[in-house]
Amino acid sequence: MKLQGLFLVVVVVIFFLSYTVLVKGQHQPRKDCQTKCGNVTIEYPFGISSGCHYPGNESFSIICKEDKPHVLRDIEVKNFNHSGQLRVLLNRSSVCHSDKQGNETEFGYSNLTLDNLSLSANNKFTVVGCNVLGLVGTFDIIKQNYTTGCVSLCDQPPLENGNCEGVGCCRTQVSFPSDRNTFLFGSAHVPGLPSVYNFNPCAYSFLVEDGMFDFSSSEDLKNLRNVTQFPVSLDWSIGNQTCEQAGSTRICGGNSTCFDSTRGKGYNCKCNKGFDGNPYLSDGCQDIDECTSTIHTHNCSGSSTCQNKVGHFLCVCPSGYDLNATSNGCVIKEKPVYFGWTQIFLGTTIGFLLVLLGVSFIKHRLRRRKYTELRQQFFEKNGGVMLRERLSRAGSSNVDVKIFTEECMKTSTNGYDKSRILGEGGQGTVYKGTLPDNSIVAIKKARLGDNSQVEQFIREVLMLSQINHRNVVKILGCCLETEVPLLVYEFITNGTLFDHLHGSMFDSSLTWEHRLRIAIEVAGTLAYLHSSASIPIIHRDVKTANILLNENLTAKVADFGASRLIPMDKEQLTTMVQGTLGYLDPEYYTTGLLNEKSDVYSFGVVLMELLSGQKALCFERLETSKHIVSYFVAAMKEDRLHEIIDSQVMNEYNQREIHEAARIALECTRLVGEERPRMKEVAAELEALTVKTTKHKWLNQYSEDNEQLLSGHILSAQGDISSRGYDSIMNVARFDIEAGR
């Protein structure tokens, strides 16, 4: 009944234990961490205080009490092993005779809970005593349980010491599944057998590391030499993923190798051959100087001297001696056999040519092999495996994305010649390239500094490959074999909208019709990304420099490196703020909450640039008008919009439409995101302006043919045209804007 009660308690404890999730990322300990507890060195991933041990697994948290390190609160640690083993001291279990006649059935037991640690396979369950049954087993209310044990029988003290095979002592291998972490073990005297009380008053059971206990019949049957704790080997590992699954989140430092844990989950690290130290620290594995080390010694013998190299050593002989590869000692060089001058010359020449040919061949093979390995390393570092997996999951929409080789990209850009640079920005450098089929493309070399930017690069590839829209720059493929990844786009021949409005490369001759159409195309594209794409997309960096124009001045939205996909069940995301000053949504900047209204704000700034021909930020304007939004707001309030509109845009026939476009731009740039319209509404309103512009053109032509009639009352009869007056002071046409417009 006592045993059943103990099992019930263990069930309740196990049921309410919480599982701690491993913190992802390459965590490293603080610089001020305590590294000693008594005479035991505490090495990462274990640590004594918060920030000093690997997070997410409390089994790595060391408690230092009475100058002794402990894990799991009360298990004393003897030493650590970088390869995933921990040696601890565990208490024994004992049961003593309560009936000197040998009729008792009392069971002495102990329980052990290891949390995220597990028993190593090199432990033995050992029972010391005569006429004793010992059992050890796992306990789990969900998974299958395992039990093993042994029996020790004798009616007098055995004669042989060190023999633990069933007479006075028995033991059995402990080999349980690595995911079991709760154990019960104990022993009981077998009733009905002769009493052994005189020489064996108690029976003992315990776990002990193999080879760490030798049985002595004269000392152990009485009181087990008063030893109450025995060394036990425990296994540990980092996380629950294999090395391949953990990928870039592995914490293995430099000059180290990752290997999958023998526990069946997680991984461990080890220093490469020729290096020693803590492989879990970023710079923990240091070169071993075999020439001076007393632990890692060299095998140079005789007159050969040791010469240390990074990761290895060399045995060097003095002049006139050769190294014997077998003994690593030095032997005197054999004297050469002299031939005639002709034979010497021919032999030397042929030998030199053969050596030269061999060296060239070997260098070529090594260079090619190194080049191949380097390209594979770049492919993996640049997210090639991640991209391949995501493309395979994405379906048939990505079958047209081509993977280009590094040689192709280098040839296409003439070795990335500076004259081929089309532009540079926060997301990378863009080159003009010519593919083998003579097609012209734009090749973008991304700027990468950490793993989060690799994710950003992969995001752009996936995002662009799934967008099918006439006003979005089409992605043709990518190259991952270079130090930084490359994206290959269709080439847009006519520069950016920024160049046409503000640059010196193009003559700024965009008419009102051109600018209105460009605004409609960009607005329609953003509306498609927000509402019609398979997964809503927020561009996050809408600006005139990211709007390209082709030979027909058709707008093409580009540079999705900062874009974000919005899950279907969310309307906004909390992200690290990204964007370009002047175009950045102030609400997003202050709160970090990203939604589609952030793109609406940026588009409003672009629309103001189209109307005014002014840059988004201009430090030559007044202090209160350096930002174009403030510039527009002030002009609208003071009824001087005509002063800031580009002279190539406004004429007496399109002022109403320009006022409407300016109103739309101001609505888009409201400080509160909820007060801004959606891009679908903006696109519809701008589209409606094209009808009015066309109607005014027709009326203009009609006016030239019927000037006298139009000067009368015919205009007032047109129900959809507002009355127009003339201000002789301002010398400009003035319109009465309808209420609410």
Q: Return d(Cα 442, Cα 464) in angstroms, integer.
A: 14
**What letter represents residue 632's amino acid?**
F
Q: Return d(Cα 305, Cα 317) in angstroms, integer.
A: 7
Max CA separation in the chain (angstroms): 137
User: Known catalytic residue: 736?
Assistant: no
* 510-533 as b/e: b if 16+ CB within 10 A: bebebbbbbbbbbbbbbbbbbeeb
| Contact predicate 378/403, CB 8 Å | no
Number of CB atoms found within 10 A of residue 36's CB: 12
| Contact predicate 80/46, CB 8 Å | yes
3-state class (DSSP) for residue 275: strand
Two tokens, residue 514: 């051109």
DSSP-derived secondary structure for 284-313:
-EEE--TTT-SSS-----TT-EEEEETTEE
CA 206-210-213 angle, 5° bins:
60
> 468, 484, 460, 489: which is closest to 402 by C-alpha?
489
Q: Which helix (H) or strand (E) segment is 318 a member of?
A: none
Q: Pick the catalytic residue: 235, 287, 541, 599?
A: 541
Cα(first)–Cα(last) distance of the chain, in Å?
86
What's phi and psi for 54, nearest 5 deg? -65, 125
* Strand stretches in 121-262, DSSP E: 123-128, 132-138, 147-152, 169-173, 182-189, 202-209, 229-235, 256-260
DSSP-derived secondary structure for 579-605:
--TTTS-HHHHHH-EE-HHHHHHHHHH
**What letter represents residue 341's amino acid?**
W
| Contact predicate 464/539, CB 8 Å | no
Number of CB atoms found within 10 A of residue 217's CB: 23
The residues that are catalytic are 541
